């Protein structure tokens, strides 16, 4: 499984990438949506884990752009902001069933990634 993590909280995303790597998962990360778009030009990912609220380009917009380039990629959204109902509504518009609320449990994230790959 090759995973792309995207979150504007650089310390969080790098620590999460390290923890996933220790579990044997192939991980790359980006701290901006634009960096993520650049990475998919040269690498293939099975799953993207995207923060919903990022400056300049939201996770929802990033998903749309990534899906154009990588139609088979699966997506998991994470958020630390807003209510769960608002989050679910945004995801239903994006057509994504997988979401997590920060702080993230590494076990829950891995479980959601495995579920997404089985679809």
pLDDT in tens, 60-110: 899 999 999 999 999 998 888 756 665 666 666 666 668 888 888 999 999
What confidence score (pLDDT) does residue 92 get? 67
CB 87 within 8 A of CB 78: no
- Alpha-helix runs per DSSP H in the chain: 10-22, 33-42, 59-69, 84-94, 106-118
> Does residue 37 or residue 81 have the better pLDDT?
37
With CA atoms as reference, report the closest residue to 23 among 1, 44, 38, 43: 1
pLDDT category, 57, cuts 50, 70, 90? Answer: very high
pLDDT at 58 over 70: yes
Mean pLDDT of all residues in the chain? 89
Query: How do 26-30 and 47-51 pair as beta strands?
Result: unpaired
What confidence score (pLDDT) does residue 119 get? 80
CATH fit for domain 2-118, picks 3.40.50.300, 3.30.70.20, 1.20.1070.10, 3.40.50.2300 = 3.40.50.2300
Q: What is the mean pLDDT of residues 4-31?
A: 96
What confidence score (pLDDT) does residue 6 get? 97
- Cα dihedral 44, 20, 36, 58 sign: positive
> Does residue 87 or residue 41 have the better pLDDT?
41
Domain ranges of the chain: 2-118
pLDDT category, 59, cuts 50, 70, 90? Answer: confident
Q: Phi first, then psi: what are they for 78, rounded to 5°?
A: -130, 150
What confidence score (pLDDT) does residue 103 get? 85
Provide the β-strand partners of residue 100: 78
């Amino acid at each position: 499984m090759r995973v792309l993590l995207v979150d504007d909280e650089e310390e969080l995303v790098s620590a999460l990438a390290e923890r996933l790597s220790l579990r044997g998962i192939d991980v790359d990360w980006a701290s901006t949506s634009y960096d993520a778009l650049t990475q998919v030009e040269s690498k293939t990912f099975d799953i993207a884990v995207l923060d919903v609220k990022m400056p300049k380009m939201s996770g929802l917009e990033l998903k749309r752009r990534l899906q154009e380039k990588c139609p088979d990629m699966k997506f998991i959204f994470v958020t630390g902001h807003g209510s769960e109902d608002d989050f679910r509504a945004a995801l239903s518009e994006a057509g994504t069933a997988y979401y997590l609320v920060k702080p993230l449990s590494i076990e829950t994230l891995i479980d959601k990634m495995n579920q997404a790959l089985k679809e």
